[in-house]
Structures are given as structure tokens and as C-alpha cells.
Amino acid sequence: MIITREIKEEYAKKRALALAASEERKRAVFALVPRLEQIEALRRELIFDMGLKLRLADDKGAVRKEVMEHIAILDAEQTELFKQYGITEEYLAPQFECAQCNDTGFVGEFEKQMCKCLKQRLLEQQYATSHISGAESFETFNLDIFKKPRQRQLMEAVKMQMEEYCDSFPNNDKNDILLMGDAGLGKTFLLNCIAKRLSDKGFGVLKLTSYNLINNVLKSMRGEPFDFISPDLLIIDDLGTEPMIPNVTREHLFATVNERQNAHKPTVIATNLLPEELQEAYGERLFSRIVAPRMTKIIKLTGDNVRIAVK
């Protein structure tokens, strides 16, 4: 997952705020109990002097012992003052949102790794920018909404295939998926299930309707670049509902699918159109890419419109 400048600045800001608030509390406490500020200054001075003495000392252990004894005396005096004035170390310490990484986004003393809080923040951003519904997932997939046994069995089998696809991603025999069927059969829900599962695994997922895809193409033609190739998975929903703009729609859809296939980047497409309607609408060149037997797993959904059934 890519850490955007926005999130880097967000983490830097909240860490700076926590440190600044801690310093403000310290200043207030030091104004109330000046001796505490003196103790802190003396402790820093002792540690600094120890570094200088260690360079010249023959018995470094004795130097450390002497300094630590002085520091222990200061610590004991500080503890008594804390008790006397009802102050705690926790109150003076920075109150970071994440105690694991101290709002840096990374953990590990030597080999830095992304903290859980940063991973979660990146997922939240991805859901927000990729039109992914975090509420629709394989875990919330309810087969009971399909009243007819045959349709329910079909959807159970499709769900299993989609979960297997996600488990093997990106090393599937066929990278691309074409999900076909009438409106209201659960195609968009399945797309969101795939998007969430792969996003949760740390893959970059971009989900768009074909209408929004073409809209972003038009924006890029006006100087607002949009990257369709970098995401680990591109999901195009509702292919066939976008405006058919001469010299734009077919050409850019072909370029997107073709470039991603050449780069071995998977693409999942959902459409209400039949195969012959796809071929007529987009021409043989794009149609052959979308249904390419070597690259594409074609899944056809049939049955009753469940969106009508659940109303």
C-alpha cells in the first residue's frame, strides 16, 4: 500500500501535537514545582557528563555506577514531589493516539515495519478513494436472500470461486474476471467482496463504474492525470452504462484493459450485457481482450432480481 503525502503529514501533525501538549503540561507543572525542572536539568547534565567521563575513564563501570547512584537520588526526590502534588508520569508523557508506534506509523527498533494503525489508516483511505464498500464482504454474504435453491447453489459456488481467486491473488491461472448477468443478481456485491478481501490483504484496489472510468479519462484529457495501471487490481462495474463518446470510450477502454493485461495486472469487470451485446457495443478488438480465454474467467449469473425480492 502506498503511503500518501496526506497521510505522512497527518501522522507528523498528530505526533507534533502530542509532543507539544506534553511540553505544555510540563511547563505548567514546572511553574507549580520549580524543583522538578531543576531535577530534569540535573539528570540531563549527569548523563551528558557521564558520556565525557567514559571516554577518559579506565574503570567505565565505576563511572556508570556513580552516575546512576546520583540519578537514583534525583528519581527518588522526583517521586516524592509527584506524590506531594498529585502528579503522575503518565500525565507529563506525550499522549499518543497509538502507543505501539508513538504516532510514527512504524514499529521495530532496527527493522522498521508498518504499524497496525497505519495499515488500518491506509485501508480507510483506500475504501474512501476506491468506491469500496467496507460493509459488503464475504463474511456478510447472505445466501438466504436467494429463495430458489438453484440460484442459491449457483451463488454459493460463485462465492467459493471468488474467495479462491482472492486467496491465490495475484498468482491465479486466469488474472481477469468477467462477471455477467442481469441487474439485481449480486454482481456489485461480489465486486465489493473481492475489493475488501484484497484490500485487507494489503493490495492496492481501484473500483470504478465504467461511467466514472470514462469521466476520469475525460478529466485526464483536460490535464488531470488518472492512473488506471498501477493498482494491483482494477474493478470496473456496470460496463455498458458509460457514455459512448466517439474516439474516446472504446479506445480508452481498450487501452486500459490491454495495458493492464500486458503488465500482468488483473482486471475484474461486471456487466449486464450479453456476449453478443458486448461485441456489438465495443467491437471485436476490445471484446477479444475482455473474453480472452487464456486470461479471463467468465462467470454468468442467472436467477431472480434479489434487489426487488428484498424490498
8 A C-beta contact, residue 162 and residue 286: no
| 242 has pLDDT over 70 | yes
- State the Cα–Cα distance between residues 206 and 301, nearest whole angstrom: 23
8 A C-beta contact, residue 137 and residue 197: yes
- Nearest Cα to 174, choosing from 188, 161, 189, 186? 161
Give the CATH architecture of domain 131-309.
Answer: 3-Layer(aba) Sandwich (3.40)
- The pLDDT confidence band at residue 310, using thresholds 50, 70 and 90, is very low
β-partners of residue 296 are 176
- State the Cα–Cα distance between residues 30 and 15, nearest whole angstrom: 23
Element (H, E) at 262: helix 249-262
- The pLDDT confidence band at residue 101, using thresholds 50, 70 and 90, is very high
Which contacts qualify for 213-222: CB closer than 8 Å, 24 or more apart? 213/242, 213/253, 213/256, 214/242, 214/243, 214/245, 214/248, 214/249, 214/252, 214/253, 217/248, 217/252, 218/245, 218/248, 221/248
pLDDT value of residue 158: 92
User: What cell does 113 get?
Assistant: 515495519
Element (H, E) at 32: helix 5-32
Phi/psi for 234 (5° steps) reads -105, 130
Query: For the segment 22-68, what is each residue's pLDDT rounded down to a tens digit?
Result: 999 999 999 999 999 999 999 999 999 888 888 888 888 888 998 89
| 2 has pLDDT over 70 | no
Instruction: Name the average pLDDT for the chain.
Output: 88
User: What cell does 291 get?
Assistant: 473474453
From residue 248, alpha-carbon distances to 221, 237, 254, 255, 273 in Å are 10, 18, 10, 10, 20
Query: For the segment 217-238, what is each residue's pLDDT rounded down to a tens digit?
Result: 888 888 777 778 888 899 999 9
| 126 has pLDDT over 80 | no
From residue 190, alpha-carbon distances to 41, 98, 171, 278 in Å are 62, 34, 20, 21
Kindly tell me the sign of the dihedral angle through the C-alpha atoms of 132, 138, 143, 149. positive
Query: For the segment 202-218, what is each residue's pLDDT rounded down to a tens digit?
Result: 788 888 889 888 888 88
Residue with cell 491461472: 173
User: What cell does 174 get?
Assistant: 486466469
